[in-house]
Amino acid sequence: MAGIGFELRKIVGKGHISSVFQAAVSGVMIVSGPWLLSIVSITVITRSMNTFLGDTPAAFLGAIVYCYAFSLIIFGGLHYVFTRIIADKIYEKQENEAARIMLLFLALIAVASIGLTLPFLQSITPLVPHPGLFRTGFVLLFVLVNSIWVLMIFITLLREYTKILVIYMTGMGSSILFVFLLGSRLGLSGSLIGFAAGHGIIALSLLILALKSYPPARSYTITEKSPVPGRTYMLLFFCGFFYSAGIWIDKILYWIHRGGEIPGTMLKVYEQYDIAVYFATLTMIPGLVYFIIISETAFYIHLRKFLMSLNRGRYAVIQRRKYRMLTTLSSGLTNQTFFQGVITLGLIIMAPLLISRVFQGSTDGRTLRITLSAVFFHLLFITTVNFQFYLELYENALVSCILFFILNTGITLLDFLPGLSIPPGLGYLVSGAAGSVLALVLLFGTAKMLDRRILSRSMT
């Protein structure tokens, strides 16, 4: 992702307001395009097109949320492995081989997505109008969401940020248009197919853009470089799984124990918490853009200088560059946290106004404030874990992700015990804060001995 940051920095460096806006919007789309697409489209559809959704807007919303949630839980580990494989191919200047691997992953995930959703859907849609169309829309959406995640990882190779932005904007508009056209005729099932069609435009456009830039290699290329140990892939896989599951586990538990069942299905939603989470997640976007453009790129520069000094630098030079890297890392996280903190604090203060004007009472102030605070720590947690990945501290990252998952699960389950009442989002908040603290302690504690770790590893 640092490569994207450098390119966006160049855009900002032009000094024009339009260039700053372009960099910011491009960064938003790159770091959160799929999720932003879903939120914006859902908001427009549910607020202006309920006439043809009838009594089933909850089923429409629930189908989309379930697709996104389980796409990350089921395939989150593979996303991390895929990212490492693609990064290694880029480092080896084998972009065409990376494109070939991307196509293999897309095929694998498409087959797995269909295989997982079809048996499940047979039991959840008996009372939905046009159940066959509903199943088709659900499967298409699940396949396309999973494909977009993979494509978003791969297009970090590209520098066509304006084209990527246009693709997403076109997809957003197309989703809304297709929902209107198909939903007005086929109701809920048509709306879901129309929403999936917008995703299809994005997925197909990104795929064409990627393959046009890097045609896939026709055969596997063997290099002289040592392969990445299988243990690294295993650690990355479980990091991705526990991180993704940790994000969604409390939502799933609330769906099961407190959620209202969507008529005609076995899907459940817990609106009070779900709506707060949707909104709060969007507030993370400015911090993520800050991370890509500023925190990550500054750290990468000094990390590279430090690693290069290990080959031929004197001990004093190595130590100086190491501590310069750590100082940059610390200041980057501090400034990023302050930047996001100001945004979060402002929204917490505005919570009563948001409840009455934006959410119209569909959630409450306490839930919204807790969720906003949880997302603040979530941002700190995931950026710290990303820095651990840069330093190949995979064991530390896995421990942090497991703690995140366990605490969110455990605290949320306490709310379902007799006599206990824990506000929604508290598990998410505590687990994010604790995970961030642990990740920071492990990161800086191990990074101080990074030169020794690297040298000892090279001698084994």
| pLDDT tens figures, 199-209 | 999 999 999 98
Interval 265-274 mean pLDDT: 80
Give the number of other CB atoms < 10 A from CB of residue 95. Answer: 19
Q: Is the pLDDT of residue 42 over 70?
A: no
pTM: 0.84
Q: How confident is the model at residue 35 (pLDDT cuts 50, 70, 90)?
A: low
Q: How confident is the model at residue 6 (pLDDT cuts 50, 70, 90)?
A: very low
Query: With pLDDT > 70 as the criterion, what percentage of the chain qualifies?
Result: 78
- 312-371 pLDDT, tens digit each: 778 788 788 888 888 999 999 999 999 999 999 999 999 888 888 777 777 888 899 999
- Please state the domain extents for the chain: 2-228, 274-459
Contact between 86 and 246 under an 8 Å Cβ cutoff? The reply is no
Task: Please tell me the distance from the alpha carbon of residue 408 to that of residue 71, in angstroms, as a whole number.
Answer: 19
Q: Is the pLDDT of residue 415 over 80?
A: yes
**What are phi and psi for residue 261, nearest 5 degrees?**
-75, 135
Residue 355's pLDDT is what?
A: 85
Q: How confident is the model at residue 226 (pLDDT cuts 50, 70, 90)?
A: very low
Residue positions counted in the chain: 460
Residue 107's pLDDT is what?
A: 92
Contact between 302 and 324 under an 8 Å Cβ cutoff? The reply is yes
Q: Any idea of the CA torsion for 230, 236, 241, 246, to the nearest 10 degrees? A: 150
Residue 136's pLDDT is what?
A: 86
Contact between 171 and 201 under an 8 Å Cβ cutoff? The reply is yes
Q: Is the pLDDT of residue 399 over 90?
A: yes
Q: How confident is the model at residue 413 (pLDDT cuts 50, 70, 90)?
A: very high
- Residue of 449 and 32 predicted with greater confidence: 449
Task: Please tell me the distance from the alpha carbon of residue 73 to that of residue 117, in angstroms, as a whole number.
Answer: 14
Strand, helix or coil for residue 268: strand
